[in-house]
Amino acid sequence: MSYPKIKSARAIDEHTLLVEFTNADKRKYDVTPLLDKERFFPLKQRGFFRNFQIDSTGCALIWNEDIDISEYEIWLHGVKEV
C-alpha cells in the first residue's frame, strides 16, 4: 500500500505535530508514546523536538541521523483533522 507524502509539518505543542500530506489531509501526531524508547529521548527537549526537516522525498520527518518518523507512521497513527 502506498501512503501520501508529507507536504508540510509544524510542532503545535511540546509533543504534537500537525502534518499536512500531499492529498491535503492533515493529521495531528503525538510523539508521547515514542518517548519511552531510548532512541527518541532527545524529543523530550522542546528545542530539539521543534528542529526537524521533511525528507526530500516526503517520506519522513527527520531530526538527525538516528531519529526520524515515517509518513506511514504519522498517517496510520495520527488523528485526522476535520
* Best CA proximity match to 61, nearest among 17, 12, 25: 17
**Tell me, what's the pLDDT at 52?**
98
Averaged pLDDT, 71-82? 96
**Tell me, what's the pLDDT at 1?**
76
Helices and strands, number each (H, E), in the chain: 2, 7
Averaged pLDDT, 2-25? 97
The pTM (predicted TM-score) of the whole model is: 0.94
CATH architecture of the domain formed by 6-80? 2-Layer Sandwich (3.30)
Q: Mean pLDDT score of the chain, rounded to an integer?
A: 97
pLDDT of 36-49, one tens digit each? 999 999 999 999 99
26: burial class by Cβ within 10 Å (0-12, 13-18, 19+)? middle
